[in-house]
Amino acid sequence: MTKPVISREDVKALDQHDPLQPFKREFYQERFYYMDGNSLGLLSKRSEETLSTSLNDWKKHAIGGWTEGEEPWFYMSEKIGALTAPLIGAKPEEVINTGSITSNIHQLLATFYKPEGKRTKILADELNFPSDIHAMKSQIKWHGLDPEEHLIRVQSVDGYTLSEDTIIKEMDEDIAVLLLPSVLYRSGQLLDIEKITRAAHEYGIIVGFDLAHSIGALPHRLNEWGVDFAVWCTYKYLNSGPGGVGGLYVNKKHLGKSPGLAGWFSSDKDKQFDMSHELTPAETAGAFQIGTPHVLSSAPLIGSLELFEEAGIQQIREKSLKLTRLLMDLIHQELSGYGFKIGNPLNDESRGGHVCLVHDEAASICKALKQEAIIPDFRSPNVIRLAPIAFYTSYEDVYDVVLRLKDIMENEKQKQFKNERDTIA
């Protein structure tokens, strides 16, 4: 049966009944169609306000801003952790705003990766973002082991997706820690976290996930699923700004464990200024902080998380799925015959927040899109990532993006550009 043609009137009707439509006005987006919020989210007016609050606290209170400001800096990381916890299905004490994905991976592997006997290996995947692999190799080398032997990378059949059953087949008593992405950064595949965690625990494996491409786009139930630890950045779907401070989760059953990499802010807050050379770690995820918090890179997240609290992560997920479904349907309707292939899973339960569009001329097409005031994302060698963000993308925006892409292909506008990535892609 032929699907009915999607018209502009259809998408306008969707916008009229969209409960999240008012949030679009909260973000600065005037000159372009922004499809790259899975790399860097847009600035919201709330984030601007909470950053201004911390700047004013510095201006007014100087060092007193640590405890006397409108938003005291000394407790900011814990407050942000508590605001983040509902997005990942965690308890407030299990979450802390700190570090970056890479530094937090190092912290948590230093804490949980203790190779001994035959249990010496880390289970990862061949499609993971390079920085995660670099960190895992580094930790293996730190223990005097060879990454070629002790880092197991699950293979992909198609170069875009992973099979949970294949991941599980790689599990055995040799694996000490598993660390996988929740959503694959190129294809947007959402892994079955609960299934993987349950299977890994049957083998006594510590389970960690990198939530970079899922936090803020979809709900999680990490505590319920028994995930041991997780890390994430906040500048993508959480809209904290470039270089925004990351976060980590440690399951309550591990709280009280000494951090592998200890620092001044690992301390119990009541004892921190005793200046003792003996660390008393916090009884919360705060123990896994290392150095002084980056206040001005954390403050915008407070405003952004207010928006998540108001919108609700379930409602955000529902709209995100509708946006990516519309985008895929329009690609089939308007771009058939132009050499495009959808590389992400088509079913809702296995799809994150972006569409993976595969094309041999992906790099040059991305450059042509930018010339048409559309901001996409290119991933080598042949992927165009398009991320319609529930907060600030309308259904009509998606319609316009596909029609402009069709115009590019019809008129071969991509041919004026070299089909190679820029320095940053």
Residue 34 marked ligand-binding: no
Residue 101 marked ligand-binding: yes
* Separation between Cα atoms, residue 362 and residue 385, nearest integer Å: 10
Residue 131 marked ligand-binding: yes
Residue 132 marked ligand-binding: yes
Residue 102 marked ligand-binding: yes
Residue 130 marked ligand-binding: yes
Contact 217, 265 (CB under 8 A): no
Residue 235 marked ligand-binding: yes
Known binding-site positions for pyridoxal 5'-phosphate:
101-102, 129-132, 210, 213, 235, 264, 292
Known binding-site positions:
101-102, 129-132, 210, 213, 235, 264, 292
